[in-house]
Chain A
């Protein structure tokens, strides 16, 4: 089967750096997605990793290690608006692209 684990909650300070980890188990790997979701709103796409390594996109970076079944999302120069849930997702093995989501990490940014 497939399983995704993320910490439930994290707290960080405005201006700081935070790393949100995700571990996954899947029988066939077809990339890993990160989404941001503010409370009551739609998830918005942040990043997609299919090869090992770090992908940087402005203040957000995402890292993947396929051999370890591990990814993280790195948020730099935290802003209050970054308070949201961050969802890690992988395509279901053998699927037509439907995603299996982790339960999300709720990040609270404090002043």
Chain B
């Protein structure tokens, strides 16, 4: 158990819908990273927050957005969902930038 929690564990929804994935980092960690993992692409970095501020964006679509709240939990919002958005979504946390990252159990999103 890494200490990072993610909910929900599984999510099945339809194309065009909007979902919210939630992540709580390890106690004391200030950085939260979101990654997407699909079968053909491997783990892809989406976005990074540090202590409530957005620090970096990766291959994140405009239909996706995220935020980190004052209690340091983070939410990833995915809208206008497409079949290709089906993937495992992981969040990871670290104490400081460039420390090792600890991954949550992931949310498996299936878009039908």
Interface residues of A (CB under 8 A from B): 30-31, 33, 35, 40-45, 48, 87, 89, 91-92, 95-104
Q: Is the CB of A42 within 8 A of B2?
A: yes
B86 at the interface (CB under 8 A from A): no
Name the contact of B56 in the complex, choosing from A89, A95, A103, A104 (C-beta under 8 A): A95
Digitize B34-76: 1 where CB-to-A-CB distance is under 8 Å, 0 elsewhere: 0000000011110010100001101000000000000000000
Known: A42-B4, A42-B90, A96-B31. 9 other contacts (CB 8 A): A41-B106, A42-B106, A87-B42, A92-B56, A96-B48, A96-B97, A98-B33, A98-B56, A100-B45
Asked if residues B45 and A102 are in contact (CB atoms below 8 Å), the reply is: no
SS class, residues of chain B in contact with chain A? strand
Among A30, A40, A45, which residue has its beta carbon within 8 angstroms of that of B102?
A45
Report the interface size for chain B: residues with CB under 8 A from the other chain. 27
Report B's interface with A, CB cutoff 8 A.
2, 4, 31, 33, 42-45, 48, 50, 55-56, 58, 88, 90, 94, 97-106, 108
Given A41-B105, A42-B2, A43-B90: A97 and B42 interface contact (C-beta under 8 Å): no
Chain A neighbourhood of B2, CB < 8 A: 42, 44
Given A42-B2, A102-B42, A97–B105 Cβ distance below 8 Å? no
A17 to B48, CA, bound (A): 37
What residues of A have a CB within 8 angstroms of the CB of B106 in the complex? 41-42
Cβ–Cβ contact B42 & A101, under 8 A:
yes
Q: Which residues of B contact A101 (CB under 8 A)?
A: 42-44
